[in-house]
Amino acid sequence: MRDSAGNGDGPADDVPTDDEGSTDDLPAAEVGTGGMGPEDVDPITFTVVWDRLVALCNEMGTVLQRTGKSEAVSLGQDFSTGLFDREGRLVSQGNFSPGHLGSMPYAVEHVRERFEEDDLEPGDGIVLNDSEMGSGHLPDMFLISPVFADGRIEAYVVTIAHQVDVGGMTPGSQAVDATEIYQEGLRLFPTKAIEGGEIARWFEDLVAANVRIPEKVVGDVKAQQNANHRGGELFREVVEEYGRDTVYACIDRIISQSEKRVREDLREMPDGDYDFADVMDDVGVDTESVHLEVTITIDGDEMIFDYTGTDPQTESAINSYINYTRAYSAFVLKSLTEKYLPQNEGVMRPMTVRAPRGSFLNPEPPCAANARPIINQRIVELTLGALAKAVPETVIAASSHFANPNFGGYDPETDERFVLYDFMIGGVGAAGHKDGEEGICSSFNVTNIPVELHETRYPVVIEELSLIPDSGGAGRHRGGLGLRKEFTLLAEDVTFTNLLERTTSRPWGLHGGEAGDRGRTVRNPGEDAEELHPKGEYRLEYGDTVSFRLSGAGGYGDPLERDPERVLADVRKGYVTPEEARDAYGVVIDREDGDPRIDRAATEELREERR
């Protein structure tokens, strides 16, 4: 069965697809290796070449981060890297964002459809950010560069970076109330923006004419160019050292061996159809919830994700184009099988993804989708909810939902325009063997951006950054805590676009574990506090404070089975209050002498009453 999650030869627009967004079976690419077969390479050479091809992508990420202009790239790590062979097969990727990585093969295929080998020269670079062709929204910009050796293309190196602004209705380009892609900003089909190593003047002019902070966008594209240049150098070094026949024999073996290992893992799972349903809270002010549904079929060594039953696409910027849906389905497959195996085409071959055309998870253009980041975790948790019925000891509970706000205006000290982008990451859902972690993203590799960066670059003061006590779902293993972060604005007339989930629904627990607390956003907390919509757009004035409170993560197992000593440790760290210890865990904390201690007799009696 062919992969339809973003890691095969990659269907382009002219590849037949059914009405559900799945792809027909396609033949694997044939790559000549001069008569050398994959098994002709000795194990040491194979291992060294594989490690170098993976390290190549990680080094590209280091270059991109260190030379990036925006905080999204230089600190938030909202980017990804990859290496493809000359036939467009995914060979390796850096350890970065699943939404980028899973959609990358489709972007490469679109570029290869548009540009023949004779159209490209050393140093050329193709940019692409179209939502359907790429990773689901316009801020994610691909740069795809051919790697030449001995006068021919031998590979493609790829970077994708989230641009903090591409124009459109609001600063940060994630306006939830956009209804079609034409409102969302600069849109590029595969376009040769770099020729012979030089960024075209027309491209810089195009960016300057359409985005609010062109110096950061162009700066990040140049950082992508730096990364691609380094990746090309490293690939040529491998080819020169081992020879192209050996390198391609290794690539064939990497892909086939990886596929074999994933299929072996799938055969260990029980066959069956496993379903789950959940809801997106809403898609903007005065909108209804969106029903999400999946049936996952495990059939021998294959896994099928079928999202039939999910609601239709919305008239908002919250929709998930099929590449994004595939990408996060692929993330779940990878997480439950060979999670330590470096990513490549073979890992995804056993998977098929289906979603009805025109649905929320496979919309039709020209629907808007720039606010689609808020969906990724919901896709992951939807599929994990289904797979918890198949492999209950492997799946974690639902996690704290991140916030992805954008602020835009003019800095009164410099009179320059600014766009402040942030990602706030809360806790991870509890697992069968451990508590959920705090401040770690569960569904992609973005990090919390340091407070010092925002305060030194933008007219804001971060009043508070803390964990929220009692927000994690109770369980034998406790869910990770929600995060609280408060911005005070030191500028007038600031545009604020909120993007937050799990403010109505709660992150669910597993096997008797309780759900995490809901999230919320508050303007000017205190006597004059005003609740803000999680996906609203607002005008803020000098001195306004916006307080983000992220939901907590779900717990795992019966809270009455949690070791009282672990409850006490949570109380001492401030993660759980004595009241929560009693109410949720049945643990009585004695604080008469100031040092919290367990009242063991009262605890045993209370727990016995509740069982």
pLDDT for res 304: 98
In this structure, are residues 70 and 449 in contact, taking their beta carbons and an 8 Å threshold? no
pLDDT at position 34 over 60: no
- Per residue in 139-185, pLDDT (tens digit) is 999 999 999 999 999 999 999 999 999 999 999 999 999 999 999 99
Of the candidates 11, 189, 191, the residue with the CA atom closest to the CA atom of residue 119: 191
pLDDT digits (tens, 9 = 90+) for 189-214: 999 999 999 999 999 999 999 999 99
- The string of DSSP codes covering 467-524 is E-TT-SPPSSBPPPPPEEEEEEE-SSSEEEE--B--SSS----BTTPPPPPPPEEEES
Model confidence at 5, pLDDT cuts 50, 70, 90, reads very low
Instruction: Look up the pTM and report it.
Output: 0.91
Q: What is the DSSP string of 162-196?
A: E-S---SSSTTS--TT--BGGGS----SSEEEEET
pLDDT tens figures, 82-138: 999 999 999 999 988 888 888 999 999 999 999 999 999 999 999 999 999 999 999
What's the pLDDT score for residue 3? Answer: 35
453-482: per-residue pLDDT in tens?
A: 999 999 999 999 999 999 999 999 999 999
Rounded CA gap, 227 and 57, in Å? 9
Cα 459–Cα 462–Cα 463 angle in degrees, nearest 5: 130
User: pLDDT tens across 559-596, in order?
Assistant: 999 999 999 999 999 999 999 999 999 999 998 777 89
Average pLDDT over the chain reads 92
Which of 38-47, 241-250, 415-424, 523-532 bottoms out in mean pLDDT, i.e. has the lowest? 38-47
**pLDDT at residue 14, as a whole number:** 33
What share of the chain in percent tops pLDDT 90? 87
34-41, long-range: CB < 8 A, 24+ apart: 34/244, 34/245, 35/245, 36/245, 36/246, 36/248, 36/249, 37/249, 37/252, 38/249, 38/250, 38/252, 38/253, 38/256, 39/253, 40/249, 41/246, 41/249, 41/250, 41/253
Give the pLDDT confidence of 501-558 residue by residue, as tens digits.
999 999 999 999 999 999 999 999 999 899 999 999 999 999 999 999 999 999 999 9
The predicted pLDDT at position 35 comes to 59
